[in-house]
Amino acid sequence: MKKAKKFIHRKSLIYKTNVEYGDYTINHFQGCSHGCKYPCYAYLMAKRFGKVKSYEEWIEPAVVENALELLDKEIPRFKDKITSIHLCFTTDPFMYGYDDLKELSLSIIKKINNAGIKCSVLTKGILPIELAYCSHENEYGITLVSLNEDYRERIEPGAAPYSQRLAALQALHDAGHKTWLVLNHIRHQTLLSKI
């Protein structure tokens, strides 16, 4: 198992968004170990605005070390405005092979759910089975670009194998949770199905 070695401090964590699967979002990591080789919007924006200098720096995730404390302050302030919080738009909450990042993401989801707020999650990692014990209002999704594992190894070298992503999604579906799949083509993204 890998472990994050970089940490950053932020002044805020929850922010408003206008996308279809969450009116608010959080990004409690900076960077993404999945290292997708197609044009990654999050990486391009982070590089453009000076948050990272290189691809190599991007694929070494940095943890927002004060994420849980920020949530304690921000949830009461935003609670009446939030319908759902999405994890994450500029990183991945369940980066493959990082148990420490998984545990932080689970703690964040539980904290949000304990405040009566639902979450949506989208990952190229493995959705942990512990999510089965979180709110049944939550929605869990995975992204696929292909079912060819050789292609995945070239294009998403640090992401979870497709079969493991699908098996984890199926396990949460079988536990009665709302699950979904996004087929991500290189140039566009289409909601493929709600399982």
Place 21 in a pLDDT band, splitting at 50, 70 and 90: low
- Beta bridge partners, 193, equal 181
Give the pLDDT confidence of 23-46 residue by residue, as tens digits: 899 999 999 999 998 888 889 899
Which residues does 140 contact at the CB level (< 8 Å), separation at least 6? Answer: 120, 121, 127, 131, 169, 172, 177, 178, 179, 180
pLDDT over threshold 60, residue 176:
yes
Question: Is the pLDDT higher at 126 or at 183?
Answer: 126
Asked whether 166 and 192 are in contact (CB, 8 A), the reply is no
Compute the distance between CA of residue 102 and CA of residue 90 in angstroms, rounded to an integer. Answer: 16
Q: CB-based burial of residue 7 (10 Å sphere; 0-12 exposed, 13-18 middle, 19+ buried)?
A: exposed
Compute the distance between CA of residue 162 and CA of residue 146 in angstroms, rounded to an integer. Answer: 8
Place 185 in a pLDDT band, splitting at 50, 70 and 90: low
In whole angstroms, how far apart are CA 10 and each of 23, 66, 151?
A: 21, 7, 36
Compute the distance between CA of residue 72 and CA of residue 75 in angstroms, rounded to an integer. Answer: 6
Domains of the chain: 6-194 (3.80.30)
Asked whether 31 and 62 are in contact (CB, 8 A), the reply is yes
